[in-house]
Structure 1
Amino acid sequence: MAPMLRFHRTGLPRADRAAAVALAAVTAAAALVSCTSHAGVRDGGPAPTLSPPVRASPLWPQYEPPVLPSAGEPSPTYRQYEAVPSVAVSADSLRAVSVPDLLDKDPNVPKLVRAALTDCPGAQCGLRKPVFRELTGDGQEELVVAFDEPNASLTLVQVYRASGGTVRPILITWGQLGITGETFGHDLVITSTGRDGRFTTRYRWNGTVMAAVAPHDDPAGPTAGPGAGSGHSAAPQKRTPR
């Protein structure tokens, strides 16, 4: 009888094989984590605490501001300036008018300015070059005059309008010496800079005078600062020269 051949199974025991499988799984997981970290995904730690947005806290929540007149509407305090006597214009044009003569004859001009104009030494004279701009919307140019008075540290700005053959101011305002100005459309913007700060006022024709525009009526333009002239009387911004 031929001998029976027996084949013996070689390899690891069952317990060792299970350990090897577990080790391989751990190695694969470690490799996966390594690849993931190289891809840019990392643990940034705990998420930061979100703060609520900052909100306005009114100082006087129950206060209701007074109602101001709308832009372009004449206030009851506005009044028309006196016409300048003995000054005639043709075709309502102010370009041929002598500015020193106009200021000298204007009853709205303070005596301080009229006296200074009588002794105005050429280049040292505080009277600036006249400027012509259309400010009332009627197609006619208005005359803008500025006079610097160093002794009083003030600058006078006046705007004249010709209508019906007569001339009268539609704006008289004072400010710190060195006032500057510019126009935005038909609006006139006056800026005064001094020790008290920088003040800007926007004036607009209301059918009677050039009136100051309230900030809430014109949010896109320059706003009126404290100490700015009102445009409705011959009084200056801070004090009235005589």
Structure 2
Amino acid sequence: MPARRPVRRTAVTAAAVALLAVTAAGCGDSGGLRGAGATPTAISPARLWPDLRPASSPAWPYDGGSAETVKGVTVPGDDIHEVDPVAVVRAEIGSDPARYGAAAAYHDTATRMRKCRARGGGAGCPLLKPYYRDLTGDGRDELTLGFRLYPTNQTALRVYTVERHRLVQVLDDDDAIIGVELAGRTVIVRSPAGISGYEYRTTWAWDPERKAMVFSRDEFLRTGKGHHPRRPMPAGFPSASASASASASAGAR
């Protein structure tokens, strides 16, 4: 273990400590200084296998991000606020029978979309409230849409922008979603995890070169909610005791 650096105590430091002690004695415990305990020793990252040869193929991609022009939907005055969200979803359903056809996974969604009024709303309409925010940094709003997928009860998340007088889809994500947040030029998607008290958070960020929202971060976070039964953890997922033992072993070197 690295030797601790000795404390250098000067006359000025001693006088300051004495003054603080007198002040604390006169005022009681309120506002007094208290020690925070021992500070853990910093451990630098250890690089493993420095001579490891690069892989012959790229890593498995989560999603490269792509943009696709929405056919059959116009953008009056290039203002995305004038686009009917219901028409956008119906255009997607009509152009993708493999996803929304009679024998497809989300076939009930197409039936339920017929219940939507213009611009959304109506009993049984699966379209969620649309949101508008500048996600590309060009000073114009993008359109963020969500609609429920039946019979799987997942949620479809879509982001659209206007490019060269056309409506362009720049994010297409279907997942079990419990929440979505817009932060700056990113879209953060929260999804339930298989372990109680945890959730996944996936971040999509605008890429000006690809002109699409691309996957930028995936987190597995503790929410502090729910029951945590004692059960085997997934392979490769260290337990708390194993992590503590590993830290202690590393600090002893």
Q: Is the 8 A contact 2:76 2:83 kept in 1?
A: no
Residues 71-122 of structure 1 show CA distances to partners (whole Å, capped at 9, x for unaligned) of xxxx9x7464331112111332111111111111123693124343124592
| Letter of the structure 2 residue corresponding to residue 210 of structure 1 | M
Q: Flag the structure with larger Rg.
A: 1
The corresponding residue for 1:103 is: 89
205 and 65 in structure 1: CA distance in 2 versus 1, 3 angstrom threshold:
farther
Do the aligned partners of 2:66 and 2:171 also contact (CA within 8 Å) in 1? no
| Aligned partner of residue 124 in structure 1, secondary structure | coil
Q: Say if 2:115 and 2:124, in contact at 8 Å, map to a contact too.
A: no
Q: What is the CA–CA distance in structure 2 between the aligned matches of 1:164 and 1:95, rounded to whole Å?
A: 16
**Cross-structure match for 2:159:** 159
Query: Given the superposition, is the C-alpha separation of residues 65 and 56 from structure 1 closer, same or farther in structure 2, using an over 3 Å criterion?
Result: farther
Distance in 2 separating the partners of 1:108 and 1:180: 26
1:165: Cα distance to partner? 1.2
Maintained 8 Å contact 2:66/2:213: no
**Identical positions, percent:** 24
Contact (CA 8 Å) 2:128, 2:146: kept in 1 or not?
yes
Pick from 213, 216, 220: which aligns with 1:213? Answer: 216
User: Is residue 76 of structure 2 the alignment partner of residue 90 of structure 1?
Assistant: yes
> What whole-Å deviation, never above 9, does each CA across 1:165-208 have from its counterpart, x for those lacking one?
111210011221x4311122111111112545411111111122
Q: Which has the higher contact order (CA 8 A, sep 6+)?
A: 1
Size of the alignment, in residue pairs? 158
Q: Which residue of 1 aligns with 2:123?
A: 123
Shift of 1:163: 1.4
Q: Deviations over 1:215-236 (max 9, x none)?
A: xxxxxxxxx136xxxxxxxxxx
Gaps of 5+ in 2: 1-37, 56-60, 101-105, 221-253
| Gap runs ≥5 in structure 1 | 1-50, 68-74, 215-223, 227-242
Going from structure 1 to structure 2, the CA distance change for 1:122 and 1:194 (only over 3 Å counts) comes to farther
Give the 5 Å matches for 1:1-242: 61-62=48-49, 78=64, 80-106=66-92, 107=95, 110-111=99-100, 112=106, 113-119=109-115, 122-149=122-149, 151-176=151-176, 178-195=177-194, 197-207=198-208, 208-214=211-217, 224-225=218-219
| Corresponding residue for residue 5 of structure 1 | none
Q: Residues of 1 paired with 2:190 and 2:88: CA distance?
A: 24
Contact 1:203–1:210 (8 Å) recurs in 2: yes
- Counterpart Cα distance in 2 of 1:56 and 1:122: 58
Do the aligned partners of 1:190 and 1:201 also contact (CA within 8 Å) in 2?
yes
Structure 1 counterpart of 2:22 = none
In 2, Cα distance between equivalents of 1:161 and 1:108: 20
